[in-house]
Structure 1
Amino acid sequence: MGSTVLAILLAAASSASAEVPQSADAACSAATAYSDARRGFALLVMRDGKAICDTRTTPAEAPHELWSGTKSFVGIMAAAAVQDGLLSLDEPVAATITEWADDPVRRTMTIRQLLSMTNGQGGTIGKPPTYAEAVAQKLSATPGEKFQYGPAPMQLFGEVMRRKLAKAGQDADSYAYLKRRILDPLGIRVAAWRRGADGYALLPQGAVLTAAQWAKFGRFILDGGRHQGRMLVDPVAFAEQFRGSTAHPGYGLTWWLPHPSATPDPVTAGSDIGRRAAELPKDLVVAAGAGDQRLYVIPSRRMVIVRQARLDLASFGPNADPARRWSDADFLKLLLD
């Protein structure tokens, strides 16, 4: 499936621009009303690099926390590291976290499992451990066996990158690496990237961007990992971002996919991307964060869609107003139909 997604992305990148339907304004108005009724304040829809729906509320456009939308930068960071020869997706984590070498279970864990959150760790959402705490955290499942959404896998990947970069004689800061390899070439201006108690960049969350800057990242995904005709990351590792795991077909390497999954975790249950996959474009990929922050990329439509909203904890949980809950499928149908 990974090679198929890459073929779609690259083919779509070279296709001619499609004409914007006459109903675009009506679709924009309907999608905006739906978003605004659910705490939304910014909606930016790009087609072939041109805005066809833009409801950002201020000229300056204040940057906004992406929350777990941050994670999808991590998968792309890994694809850059593969291109640079720093790592491979299927190498054991214990090759870098050498104190695990004699642990019969931990030494089977791979980097791919970290990025797909099937490495046996989870943790409390919104409370990321330090890198050292992630290394020390006990496993609650056998690696590869179970999808567990949580911050620990991303923080553990941060420690892997820190050690890999230091060994290669480079700046060991993972954010500095991402900035040099991906953000700066794409012209993405990050307003802030929060750090943990240990001073290291948070990878499960922490990026603060405007809608326009997040859309630039989406365009890079839309273009199949290319920028100005050049692959910025390893093409095979890029394609693997959009391939689900056996444990969770609807989650790739930090990206959500429209594939049904029986995984019972609350984050999966909180979105209908999987449950209503038949209604959505097959090549849709999604970066998602708390408060229904969304970056949707649809290569077959040549579209990048950014939606940002205020985080209101009262809108979550069993007592939340059902009429104000976010539906990815309902929202996208307003724009795409």
Structure 2
Amino acid sequence: MDRRSFLLAGAGLALAPTIAAPASAQPSRFAAAARYSAERLGVSLLVIEGGRTLFEDYPRPGGPARGWELASGTKSFTGVMAAAAVQDRLLAWDEPAAETLPEWRDDPRKRRITIRDILSLTSGVGGPIGRPPTYAEAIRAPATYEPGQRFQYGATPFQIFGEIMRRKTGGDPLAYLRRRVFDPLDIRPTHWRRGADGMPHMPQGAGFTARDWSVFGRFVIDGGRAGRRQLVDREALDACFAPSQANPGYGLSWWLLRPGLIPPGPGAGIPQDADLRGFTDFVMAAGAGNQRLYLSRQRDLIIVRQGRFRGLRRAPRWSDAEFLRLILDA
């Protein structure tokens, strides 16, 4: 029996075959977390602390080179895209979106909506959680609440932001994100879904390998830096992690694991007040199928978890609080 087989057998992991972990990894330390993930259709689990990979596991059909749909984990790229655009002076967080969307200037609510309102999901423009509208459909959606009044989770605000970036850059928003962030980090999506208008979905649809998603996480933890190069202004990036009054648990496209968090909906697995103790240093990108990118600057910790998705009604019960305890208590 080789070292990898011995370590996994000793850990008692009743999982599908995995790739070999790095020599410095401690597979048995994270056995419970790996089992929890695999039992809930997990296909990847990656734990990196202080720049060192502690654990890497790919139950079938996962693999280190295989990308998986991030679902709403895609949303968190928009905040980083916006931070880059702030640095490039394409926009400002508190500028009215109507400066770019003249269609909104005669609407008493829409003309006061800012970029910050849109990405904090407090613009007053709601919409369904599922299929994203086209960019044109999104900007026609009504504002049913005053800006800042209410947190409304859904796809439409991110498609609105996509249209704003299309007009600001004069091209494809994904091309801007690739040029400013992905290419310098040497990461690339394995796929990215587009709508009937040919434009990239902003609230969902990106696919990444666990390793590339973790590289993006490293860049965020490092305050927009890649090695010695500052790709995105740290102050602009950190605005993504400031909560709104309407939802203390959501920033600009990122979840903040803090008391008062309002989750996207029932069954999402995102912890509420009673479960948040010990996790307030974490921010999170999250998507259906329990796609997760957990980041803690305080702990210098990156956790990537990806899984298969069988629909919300058929999805196994998931708890971020339980899973994080298994990681942190290891």
Q: TM-score range by the shorter chain?
A: 0.7 to 0.9
State which drifts further: 129-138 or 264-273: 264-273
Give 1:235 deviation, angstroms.
2.1
Could you say which residue in structure 2 is the equivalent of 1:207?
Answer: 206
Distance in 1 (alpha carbons) for counterparts of 2:182 and 2:155 = 22
**Contact conserved, 1:273 with 1:328, CA < 8 A, in 2?**
no
**Contact conserved, 2:249 with 2:261, CA < 8 A, in 1?**
no
Could you say which residue in structure 1 is the equivalent of 2:39?
Answer: 37
* Unpaired segments ≥5 residues, structure 1: 1-21, 167-171
**Contact conserved, 2:138 with 2:157, CA < 8 A, in 1?**
yes
Distance in 1 (alpha carbons) for counterparts of 2:264 and 2:302 = 27
**Contact conserved, 2:267 with 2:317, CA < 8 A, in 1?**
no
State how 1:120-199 maps to structure 2 within 5 Å.
120-166=124-170, 172-199=171-198
Letter in 2 for 1:180: R
Query: Can you list the C-alpha shifts for 1:114-159, whole angstroms capped at 9, x where unaligned?
Result: 1111111221112101000011111121111000000000000011
> 2:254 matched to 1:252?
no
Could you say which residue in structure 2 is the equivalent of 1:85?
Answer: 89
Letter in 2 for 1:35: S
Distance in 1 (alpha carbons) for counterparts of 2:195 and 2:135 = 9
State which drifts further: 209-218 or 40-49: 40-49
After the TM superposition, which parts of structure 1 deviate over 4 Å for at least 4 consecutive aligned residues? none
**Contact conserved, 2:269 with 2:317, CA < 8 A, in 1?**
no
Q: Residues 39 and 332 of structure 1: is their aligned pair in 2 closer, same or farther, counting only changes over 3 Å?
A: same
State how 1:13-28 maps to structure 2 within 5 Å.
24-28=26-30
- 3-state SS in 1 of match to 2:255: coil
Distance in 2 (alpha carbons) for counterparts of 1:105 and 1:315 = 36
Letter in 1 for 2:235: V
Letter in 2 for 1:211: A
**Contact conserved, 2:261 with 2:272, CA < 8 A, in 1?**
no
Q: Residues 296 and 33 of structure 1: is their aligned pair in 2 closer, same or farther, counting only changes over 3 Å?
A: same
> 2:88 matched to 1:74?
no
Could you say which residue in structure 2 is the equivalent of 1:327?
Answer: 319
Higher helix share: 1
Letter in 1 for 2:51: G
**Contact conserved, 2:76 with 2:254, CA < 8 A, in 1?**
yes
Could you say which residue in structure 2 is the equivalent of 1:10?
Answer: none
Q: Would you say how many aligned residue pairs link Structure 1 and Structure 2?
A: 304
Report 1 or 2 for greater relative contact order, CA contacts < 8 Å, sequence distance ≥ 6: 1
**Contact conserved, 2:64 with 2:210, CA < 8 A, in 1?**
no
Letter in 2 for 1:250: G
> 2:291 matched to 1:299?
no
Letter in 1 for 2:29: A
Query: Can you list the C-alpha shifts for 1:240-296, whole angstroms capped at 9, x where unaligned?
Result: 11111000000000111111226475169641155422132x321100000110000
Among the aligned pairs, what percent are the same residue?
51
TM-score by length of 2: 0.87
Q: Residues 90 and 302 of structure 1: is their aligned pair in 2 closer, same or farther, counting only changes over 3 Å?
A: same
Give RMSD over aligned pairs.
1.9
Letter in 1 for 2:230: M
Could you say which residue in structure 2 is the equivalent of 1:109?
Answer: 113
